[in-house]
Each structure stands twice: as C-alpha cells, then as structure tokens.
A and B are shown apart, each in its own frame.
Chain A
C-alpha cells in the first residue's frame, strides 16, 4: 500500500519537472538578452609618476619637454620602481641607488 503511494508521488513530481523544462521563460526570473562588456586598463607600473621629475611616466620628462630626446623611455629596476630613463641617468651619475627604496639600482627592463 505504502509502496504504491510512493510510486504515484514520484510520477507526479517527474511530470511537474517536465512541465517546468518545457516552458523555461516561465521558471526563470529574467532572461539575458544583451551584454555590453567594459574593459579597464592601466599602465603596468607600481606608481604612475616619476619620483624624480614628478611627471607622469607615460609623458616626456621635464627636461625632454623642453629639449625633445629619443632617450625618454621608462626604466624599471629590480626593485620594481620605475622612472624616466633620462631622469635616472642623471641620478645614477652621483648615486647608484634607487631614489625610493635605496636598494642598488639594477635595470630589469625598459619600455617605450
């Protein structure tokens, strides 16, 4: 007796599931019709300003703004601090340490 009633209830539940899947728009609270993606980018630098001349790294340094030069690119040290190449060249003439963390300055990469 019990077994047959269990079987009946199982049958009922499967038929309800079939009904739900048959009409998906009724069961979902909303349908995604359109999607606009937005990408955000940033320069791959820890700080975006050259600590020596206080100009944005992706702009020419103060000296090159008045006397343009092909040398004005960005240099990264092993310490991951970045500066304009011409600013750093002037600094290391007298002191071969990073102006921000005082570690020995070793160039790890450059970027135009």
Chain B
C-alpha cells in the first residue's frame, strides 16, 4: 500500500473512532490488519426503517491507489434492500463507482450507505427481485426486510408466520438460508417456493 494511502487511512480511522457524532449515528470501524488493507465497517440500522435495531457488518477493502480509487465495500451481513445484492452483499452506490471523489472518506462512505438504507433507489437496483417487490408489494417488502434484519442482523421484530414457512422448508431438507432467500424472492408463497426449489 502506498504511503499516502496508509497515512490518510490512519487519520480517517482516528476521525471515526474519536468523533462522538459518529457513535451517535451508529457507525464504527474495526481494523483487521496492520497495513490497513482490510477494514470491517459496522452500521446500525437507521430508525423508522425496516432495518431499525439491526447491526450490519461490511467488508471494506482498500486499494493501493486509495484515495484516488474508491474502496471496495460490500455487506457481509445479509440484507433485503433493492440496492444491495441479497446473495453477495454487493452495493450499488454511485460514490463507490464513477462518482468517487478523493475528498470522500470511510466516514462519508458509511454515512452514504446508511442514507441509502433509509431511501432505496429501486430504479437503479442491484437486486432486481427486491426492487420489483419494493415497488409492487411495499408491505411484503417491509415485512421481508424486517424479517431479514431479525434473522441476520440481530434485529428485534419477530415474524412467527414467516418463521413457520421457513421451518416447513427446513423440514423438507432445505438449508435455512436458502429457504429464507427463496421464500423472500417468491413473496412468501410456499407453493411457488417449493416448486422453485424442487423443480
């Protein structure tokens, strides 16, 4: 890693750790190795969203050209969001691609992702299935996102109905994670989900 990248990251990490406003917004970082190429980000689910109460982890990989190239950021916690792949956690966000600016920092990146959680952009989706559900069945989307938050991000909202459907598929020998994913993609229709898995 270049000298400029390493030194700037040191300053940024200090900024995130010492800034009290950041702890209030629920943003934290964890340094995974000494040369700062791999960092773990943590975002608290914003209030008044289906992600409220959840704690979402992100994998941040810093390129050698940083800050002239954007960091590679993806969710390691599974999340049901139109702009995040429900399978891989890849994020569709302009500042992580063509709209990156050298003045942006880890703090502004994490705040932007948190803002994206508040206001999804279904017209520019990363996951077309989630975006379709968000636009056509908002109530189902909200319930699904809340269920995923509880299931994968330590959220508090319990949904016994959805859990019963997952258990049904588990009894048929389907892995829990796959059951959740397939049911979510099929708007929690157990028949369509069963056909999808076993056909």
Residue of B nearest to A63 (CB): B4
- Which of these, A63, A66, A91, contacts B102 with CB under 8 Å? A91
Q: Are B7 and A99 in contact (CB under 8 A)?
A: no
How far does the alpha carbon of A93 sit from the alpha carbon of B102 in the complex, in Å?
Answer: 12
Tell me if A100 is interfacial: C-beta within 8 Å of chain B: yes
Instruction: Decide: A62 and B8 in contact? CB cutoff 8 A.
Output: yes
Selecting from A23-31, A49-57, A70-78, the interface stretch reads A49-57
B 1-20 binary contact with A (CB < 8 Å = 1; else 0): 01110011001100000000
A54 pairs with B101, CB closer than 8 A: no
The answer to the question of B68 belonging to the interface, with a C-beta cut-off of 8 Å to chain A, is yes
The chain B residue with its CB closest to the CB of A67 is: B3
CA–CA, A62 and B12, complex, Å: 14
Chain A interface size, under 10 / 10 to 19 / 20 to 34 / 35 or more: 10 to 19
Size of the B side of the interface (Cβ < 8 Å), in residues, is 13
Task: Give the chain B neighbours of A63 by CB distance below 8 A.
Answer: 2-4
CB-CB under 8 A from A62, the residues of chain B are 3-4, 7-8
B95 to chain A minimum Cβ distance, whole angstroms, is 11
> Does the CB pair A99–B101 fall under 8 Å?
yes
* Smallest CB separation, A67 vs chain B (Å): 8
Q: How far is the CB of B104 from chain A (nearest CB, A)?
A: 8
* Alpha-carbon gap, A66 to B3, bound state (A): 8
- For residue A43, give the distance in angstroms from its CB to the closest CB of chain B: 18
Question: Do A100 and B3 touch (CB < 8 A)?
Answer: no
Q: A-contacting residues of B (Cβ < 8 Å)?
A: 2-4, 7-8, 11-12, 67-68, 101-104
Which 10 A-B pairs have CB atoms at the shortest separation, nearest pair first? A51-B103, A99-B103, A99-B101, A62-B4, A99-B102, A52-B102, A62-B7, A54-B11, A66-B3, A91-B102
5 contacts between A and B (CB under 8 A): A52-B103, A62-B7, A63-B2, A63-B4, A99-B102
